[in-house]
Amino acid sequence: MRKIVFGLLAAAAVCNAAELPKAYYVKKGDDVTKYSFGVAGNLQFSDNGRKLHMEGYGETINLDEIDYISFTAPFTTSLTPNDQKERLVKIGQEVYDLVNLHDYSDILNAVHAFFDGYEDATGRWQDPPVEYWLDPAYYEVHGEGKAIIKAIRQAVAGNASALRVLKAKTVDLYRMEDYFGIYTANPATEKWEKTPADHFEIRFNGLKGENFILKLTASEEFTTWNTCDFNGQFPKVVNISFSNGNTELCTARLNTTLVQDTSIDIDLHFEANKLIADDVMKVTDTLITDNVKVVIDGKEVVNSTSEVKGKNLVNYDVIYDAVEAADGRYDEETDEWIEGDASKLMALFTRGNAYADVIGKLQLNFKLFNPSRLYDDMSQSGWYDTMTIGDATTGDCYGKILSNNGNTIHVADNDYDMADKVVTNLNSYTDANFRYDHDPKVQGYLGFDIKDEIWDNEQYYGYGNEPNSNGYTIIDNFLYRVYRDVWQEYDESKGDYVYRTGPWKIYAWNETTGEEASITVENDDVIFPEMIYEHEYMPDPLLIFPDQTSFRFEDFFDEDSFSKLIDDYNEIIDTYLSITGQERDDDDDY
């Protein structure tokens, strides 16, 4: 086996770069594992050549226990693309059959009443409570409350990710004890009125006169987390209830345990009619785990696990500095906004993986390596909207010229090589696949290619006999917008008003002085193309099957094959509109 591995690696060494495989596959029975060369790093043998350790993955393969290693995905008996579509539609149908929005009609009506305005019997428009006037001092806490209501709406529809939002926003609220109180929406004054309380509560009326209440209360017991900036106390238990008067619509319980500089444990339990959901999260200095399970009417719909490895994940000082740098800031000395840089934050994470099981029929696996490398490449815009000309940087660059025949110009909005680098790294540092019925056979992989999105822009430069006030010019193979002032003044020799024009200019910013600047362009250098085609190079997700046939996502998940499923989920939308007394507009496209 060791000789086989060496042979494969030797073959790779003599390949041209374009021919070099991006990954290798280890087959053990029906189980196939993909290892990317971008991640694998050094390959080290041990146990007298019987074991192969991959430094980047931190995994060891016992060569005596596998069938073989290949540079191409081993062809295994799997469904054809059409069979795959039928299978995915069937699974989607089963998930759809589990969600009955009528079981949560009061919650849907509450969310609708909170966020959506309506026209009353007199024809007067009534603003929803979310738009009522609120003391600016409570904007932040009110925003967290709004997010909780939205998350509850998503949770009862079976959205597992909504539990993470609900959990995070509850934690945020209990970090803001100064904002505790009962906030009541007064429709007569269209204002929020606050009364003191030792908890957080939102009260508002429904469209049928219901009295909806979102309430969060805490236990007296708490755990602490002290930093150089604050001494934090967080209750061990926060109880959440959403009710219509005295009738509870849903409840949740958040259990939290903090161990100073060591670990954070947060568990959320949510119940609404036939739905039960749990989210269990644990954070240590080197690992974050988050497990979510959703059960509807006794049937497990989603069971997902995510794991992120890193460093300093409970180090307050390091995380604070990283988040501050990522957020960006306003520099009062220069009167400028400094863009955020998340490189420090991304450096805290080394790798991650996620697994999701949908009704026991579909299993999804995802791995991410070297997020810092991905961020560094993806954060380099590669866009041509700002280019340097002399000592000034213009904000009016329209793109790099790809072709130009005078009336029609093709330009690139961004750098193809940069987009290609992002795609290469996505293929190298991410690994996703799906399977059915817990069978070890991989049915499909996720990959990426470059998509050339083309936008056509027909150009207009003026109306009537007024001289053109805008156009374009080409400098160093880049296309720039140019402008000039146009005005009318009285010409005594003609006895009439005539048009006057100023010089053509590119408006810019002088990097040396920090002031606005302009670049004058000669009349003969100004052009007026009739059509400009903009090319935008973006990562394009692909679905790759074991036999190496591949489809773009939007081509595979086409409307014809998935029409029944699309119709089913349109029915969910119609059901929601019906429950909340709304009608779909004829031109609405869902």
pLDDT tens-digit series, residues 466-498: 899 999 999 999 999 999 999 999 888 888 898
What is the C-alpha separation between 166 and 154, in angstroms, rounded? Answer: 10
pLDDT of residue 9: 44
For the record, the structure tokens of 277 come out as: 């959901």
What is the C-alpha separation between 265 and 284, in angstroms, rounded? Answer: 9
Per-residue pLDDT band for 414 (boundaries 50, 70, 90) equals very high
Which of the pair, 122 or 282, is modelled with greater confidence?
282
Residue 294 has pLDDT above 70, yes or no: yes
* Mean pLDDT value across residues 322-340: 70
Percent of the chain exceeding pLDDT 70 equals: 87
For the record, the structure tokens of 353 come out as: 């993986």
What are the Cα distances from residue 209, in Å, to 97, 150, 205, 425? 32, 21, 6, 55
For the record, the structure tokens of 549 come out as: 């046939």
Helix, strand or coil, per DSSP, at residue 220: coil
In sequence order, which ranges of 99-231 are alpha helices (DSSP H)? 105-115, 139-155, 161-173
What is the C-alpha separation between 392 and 394, in angstroms, rounded? Answer: 6
511-570 pLDDT, tens per residue?
777 778 889 999 999 999 999 999 999 999 998 887 778 888 888 887 776 666 666 656
pLDDT of residue 19: 42
What is the C-alpha separation between 202 and 215, in angstroms, rounded? Answer: 7
Give 36's contacts (C-beta < 8 A, 6+ positions apart). 22, 23, 369, 427, 428, 429, 431
> 225 with 259: CB under 8 angstroms?
no
For the record, the structure tokens of 139 come out as: 């904007």
Helix, strand or coil, per DSSP, at residue 559: coil
Exposed e or buried b per residue across 329-343, where buried means at least 16 C-beta atoms within 10 angstroms of its C-beta: eeeeeeeeeeeeebe
> 560 with 461: CB under 8 angstroms?
no
59-90 pLDDT, tens per residue?
888 888 888 787 766 666 667 888 888 898 89
- Which range, of 33-37, 386-390, 575-579, averages the lowest pLDDT? 575-579
- Block residue for tokens 């000309």: 389
- Which range, of 15-29, 93-107, 454-468, averages the lowest pLDDT? 15-29
* Mean pLDDT value across residues 400-420: 93
H-helix or E-strand spanning residue 215 = strand 211-218
> 398 with 479: CB under 8 angstroms?
yes
* Mean pLDDT value across residues 428-457: 89
What is the C-alpha separation between 360 and 345, in angstroms, rounded? Answer: 35
